[in-house]
Structure 1
Amino acid sequence: MKSIEEKINDLKIRFRTASKEELGKIDIEMEHLAVENPEAFSKAMLEAARQTVINTEELRIKEKLDKILPIVSVSYLAKTYFGKTPQWFYQRLNGNIVNGKEARFTDQEIKVISKALNDIGDKLIKSSQLIA
């Protein structure tokens, strides 16, 4: 049997692509969950809101990288700085579902990306100075 958290997450996923009719059904299901166990429902909704904030931050990361990704090789970033594949990088960048969970960059991985971009920038500046 699914927990209230799992049920809310399922409804949240359905909500993203729901028709008007489906939205009404989702509202009714949410009301039933709230009545069934108000305290657990409140905790689950707070966790869902926290996850939404995290997802929003990840979207901001994607937007911030949007201008440089056509320039910088994701393959190079993933292999050189993470020892991973480009698919691994894109899964986290796009929030793909991997093994039943939404893939995302950890705080440490975000720091690695920042340092990697600084390193690449330094290399570009040095190369530019050599040919100037």
Structure 2
Amino acid sequence: MKTEQNKKQTMKSKLYDLIVAISWADLSRTYFGKSSSWLYQRMEGVNNEGNPIDFTPEEAERLKGALVDLSERIRRAADNI
């Protein structure tokens, strides 16, 4: 029987096409004030001990806002070319 964690799509899988294009360490520091390992654990859905971990609703909303902000910054940079 699948666990709830296995059924749920991880944040990493949801953002797969962006994984290599974004500095996640910088995003973690800039938007969360946290280490890259903090963000990577939540992206993977497990902590260092192998226990399930996820973004809180507030953290997921902050991540969404960070990605929107990055998209706007990318758009502005592209417009300046």
TM-score band by shorter chain is 0.7 to 0.9
Q: Which residue of 1 aligns with 2:25?
A: 75
AA aligned opposite 1:87: S
Aligned-pair CA distance for 1:57: 3.1
Q: Say if 2:55 is the partner of 1:105.
A: yes
State the secondary structure of the residue aligned to 1:97.
Answer: coil
Q: Following the alignment from structure 1 to structure 2, what is the Cα–Cα distance between the partners of residues 104 and 81?
A: 17
Q: Following the alignment from structure 1 to structure 2, what is the Cα–Cα distance between the partners of residues 91 and 125?
A: 29
Aligned-pair CA distance for 1:93: 1.2
Tell me the percent identity.
29
Q: Is the 8 A contact 1:74 1:89 kept in 2?
A: yes
Q: Which residue of 2 aligns with 1:9?
A: none
Q: Which residue of 1 aligns with 2:8?
A: 57
Q: Say if 2:68 is the partner of 1:118.
A: yes
Deviation track 1:17-63 (CA, whole Å, cap 9, x = no partner) reads xxxxxxxxxxxxxxxxxxxxxxxxxxxxxxxx6xx0xx23342x221
TM, length-normalised to structure 2: 0.82
TM, length-normalised to structure 1: 0.53
Q: How many residues align?
A: 80
Q: Following the alignment from structure 1 to structure 2, what is the Cα–Cα distance between the partners of residues 65 and 80?
A: 19
Aligned-pair CA distance for 1:100: 7.5
Aligned-residue CA RMSD (Å): 2.2
Would the alpha carbon gap of residues 103 and 91 (structure 1) be closer, same or farther in structure 2, given more than 3 Å must change? same
Q: Which has the larger radius of gyration?
A: 1
Q: Greater RCO between the two (CA within 8 Å, min separation 6)?
A: 2
Aligned-pair CA distance for 1:97: 3.3
Identify the match of residue 42 of structure 2 among 92, 95, 120.
92
Structure 1: 5+ residue stretches without partners: 1-11, 17-48
Structure 2: 5+ residue stretches without partners: none
